[in-house]
Structure 1
Amino acid sequence: MTAKRARLLIVGLVLAGTASACTPTVRLQVDPIQIYARLDADVRVRLDQELRDLLAENPNLF
């Protein structure tokens, strides 16, 4: 290996290391959401009320 090639190799490695150190990092953190249980309970109450209304309007449905 010649001295010129060795210098080019070293310069290339230094430039690659410098370029990779400047690469931006994006991190996304999502906090847990506690709305699922409340939403599920609300939907069940609404469906239960709609079912009661439907049965009151059509007593021979089932």
Structure 2
Amino acid sequence: MKTLSVRQPWASLLVSGLKDIENRTWAPNFKGGILIHASSAKVPKRFAEMNVFEVNNHNKGNE
């Protein structure tokens, strides 16, 4: 099974279904399931909070 490393909080958002798109510079060349790995790389808190806020607001509009 393939694994995708993603920084927090995006890893949790992907797993929970609140985030359904992850952009990469490469195209996947496989089909099927994928594991999400929460990497230990740190994201500035302010930047992470801003993105979580935007994801939550986007999802509220789709309910």
TM-score by length of 1: 0.27
Q: Which has the higher contact order (CA 8 A, sep 6+)?
A: 2
TM-score by length of 2: 0.27
Which structure: greater helix fraction? Answer: 1
